[in-house]
Amino acid sequence: MNWGDENLMEEELKIKSEIRKRIRTNIAENINILPLESKRVCEKILDSEEYKKADYIFAYMALNDEVDLSLLIQKALSENKTVDAGLFQKSIGKT
């Protein structure tokens, strides 16, 4: 390896480090947004005519990066609606 290759590798490492830092910052900023967005989505559904007329609700249990519907589920159960939350497995590397 010659001197030029070492400089190129150092520069690539700096770029990768900066990209990782930006990704971490972006994730940290968006983590705070998701609970507010989840509440907004649940409230919009709860206010809808479709929800009010429904006796049966199908929802999902959210993963970390998905809208959390637990507020909707709790409210539906308190109103004696039937709630079904299916179980799905995440496939990795499969199409």
pTM assigned to the model: 0.60
> What percent helix, strand, coil does the chain show, rounded to 5?
60, 10, 30
DSSP tag of 90:
P
pLDDT of residue 88: 65
94 or 41: which leads in pLDDT = 41
Question: Rounded distance, CA 57 to CA 12, Å?
Answer: 51
Q: Which tokens belong to 24?
A: 């971490």
Output 77 or 4, whichever has higher pLDDT. 77
Entry field: residues in the chain: 95
Task: State yes or no: pLDDT of 2 exceeds 70.
Answer: no
Residue 46's closest CA among 14, 15, 78?
A: 78
User: In the structure encoding, which two tokens stand for residue 45, read together?
Assistant: 């559904």
Binned at pLDDT 50, 70 and 90, residue 55 comes out as very high
pLDDT tens readout for residues 58-70: 998 888 778 899 9
Q: What is the mean pLDDT of residues 75-91?
A: 85
Those residues with Cβ within 8 angstroms of residue 41's Cβ, 6 or more apart along the chain or in another chain: 67, 69
DSSP β-bridge partners for residue 84: 58
